[in-house]
Amino acid sequence: MALSSTEAEYIASGAAGRQAMWLRKLLIDLGNEQGDATEIWCDNRSAIAMTRNPAYHARTKHIEVQHHYIRRLVSEGKIELKFCGTNDQSADLFTKSLAQVKHQFFMEKIGIHSV
């Protein structure tokens, strides 16, 4: 269980990184190796900073070692975490209660239209 939103985002980024690596290996098997880093968008600047800074901080020492896999992927250039602000976070459509205007905006952004 995460103790902060930063830790939750960091753990989620690690899980996304593992999935991205699985897909990259599948692409290699299919003869289409991906040359560039896979972009993973995150709306928490502190979580992104944690992946880029390998220093061992007192505030992150409670995070289990398995979650630090994302740091290695970032340092190897296989994954690139990028910031996505709250106003552009389409996933909020599925995870939060939104005002009608914002709900409609995100629905249109991901290609869902009213019939």
- 20/14 Cα distance (integer angstroms): 10
Residue 42's closest CA among 9, 71, 75? Answer: 9
Q: Which two tokens stand for residue 16?
A: 């996304």
- 96/100 Cα distance (integer angstroms): 12
- 115/113 Cα distance (integer angstroms): 6
pTM above 0.75, yes or no: no
Condensed to tens digits (0 to 9), the pLDDT of residues 69-108 reads 788 888 888 988 888 887 888 888 888 888 888 888 888 8
Higher pLDDT, 60 or 10: 10
Which stretches does DSSP call E strand in the chain? 38-42, 79-83
